[in-house]
Amino acid sequence: MAKFTDIIGQEHIKEHLQNAIRTKKVSHAYIINGERHAGKEFIAGIFAMALQCENGDIQPCQKCHSCTQALSKNHPDIIRLVHEKPNTISVEDIRKQINSDISIKPYSGPYKIYIVNEGEKMTIQAQNALLKTLEEPPAYGIILILTENKNALLPTVVSRCVVLNMKPVEDELLKNYLMETVEIPDYKADICVAFARGNIGKARMLASSEEFEEIREEAVTLMKYIGEMEINEIVAAIKKINHFKLEVSDYLDIISVWYRDVLLFKATNDANLLIFKGEIQYIKKAAGKSDYEGIETILKALDTAKSRLNANVNLDLTMELLLMTIQEN
């Protein structure tokens, strides 16, 4: 599957790109700006394939020789920039793979398309080198810059590109997609959607991640029984959290959603609105124990914990302070 109709959400981007193909008013440069895993590469690949398709339609046919090459990522006129240094796209990368190459006419297609993923990793020198090509591109040249942060790009680069900002996918669309394609039950889809916050790639990863399921179970178990836990049990729980060191942000997100449910149930008394519907007796108990001020204190403590961990403050100390705050409120 690789058609514009396979893109979930992002109607504004689909419409813009298809109109450009239909009216033959394709820009020489685009910036697709969106979160990691949001589907930037997927969109760029479909757009590139449609531009090179031998049928000349706004949807790639997926059957012609050009589409077959594009689908297997072997199209000679769809070039994906690669960089040896994981965190940097250097001036040499741009000069060798784009500037020196773009003067050579397309081998078979009407366009020569360059896809620059992780565009925010371009050094200032790399961006300045790219700027020269953006200022005087050949008629057949198209550059697609994919970035998580367009503010990392020079204003002079941005001003020469059409900027397409991705939007969070609506929860209902995301839920239906997960239930149909990943084939998970609705309650699990609800949880994945709550954590993905409109990011389709993240939702799909969470839905198929055994580790996320393990983290979720650990965090929910802790929230269910934290009120009765002794200090030694809290210390043991923190040691378990250490096991998930790389995914501790997911762990904190799960606690945040738990207390979002507690707050929502306290305000509405409606279990149907909850993400953790299956834990209603524990949500109800927590809502009865904590007043609004206490829940607000816990939510603020969660934000503080995230900030501390981002600043590389000791994990054990950060989690101990957080869990003690939760227990006290």
Q: What is the CATH number of domain 4-165?
A: 3.40.50.300
Q: How far apart are CA 261 and CA 288, in angstroms?
A: 13
Contact 166, 39 (CB under 8 A): yes
pLDDT the model gives residue 193 = 87
Tell me the mean pLDDT in the region 184-213: 84
Fold match between domain 4-165 and domain 209-328: no
Query: How many Cβ atoms are within 10 Å of 145's Cβ, its own excluded?
Result: 29
The H or E element containing residue 69 is helix 65-71
Tell me the mean pLDDT in the region 68-72: 93
Tell me the mean pLDDT in the region 122-133: 94
Confidence of residue 241 (pLDDT cuts 50, 70, 90): confident
β-pair partners for 29:
143
pLDDT the model gives residue 214 = 81
> Backbone phi, then psi, for 232, in 5-degree steps?
-65, -30
pLDDT tens across 2-18, in order?
Answer: 789 899 999 999 999 99
State percent of the chain over pLDDT 90: 54
Tell me the mean pLDDT in the region 114-138: 94
Listed range (34-48, 93-107, 215-229) with the worst mean pLDDT? 215-229
Tell me the mean pLDDT in the region 128-141: 93
Confidence of residue 244 (pLDDT cuts 50, 70, 90): low
pLDDT the model gives residue 184 = 82
Does the structure show a pLDDT above 70 at 53? yes
Does the structure show a pLDDT above 60 at 35? yes
Tell me the mean pLDDT in the region 103-127: 94
pTM for the full predicted model: 0.78
Residue ranges of domains in the chain? 4-165, 209-328
Q: How far apart are CA 265 and CA 274, in angstroms?
A: 7
Alpha carbon 159 to its chain centroid, in Å, reads 25
The domain at 209-328 falls in which architecture? Up-down Bundle (1.20)
> Considering only CA atoms, which of 138, 115, 117, 110 is closest in space to residue 51?
110
Contact 26, 51 (CB under 8 A): yes
pLDDT the model gives residue 86 = 84
Does the structure show a pLDDT above 90 at 242? no
Tell me the mean pLDDT in the region 128-144: 93
Q: How far apart are CA 268 and CA 132, in angstroms?
A: 59
pLDDT tens across 143-180, in order?
Answer: 999 999 999 999 999 999 999 999 999 989 999 999 98
Contact 189, 179 (CB under 8 A): yes
Q: What's the whole-number average pLDDT of the chain?
A: 89
pLDDT the model gives residue 19 = 94
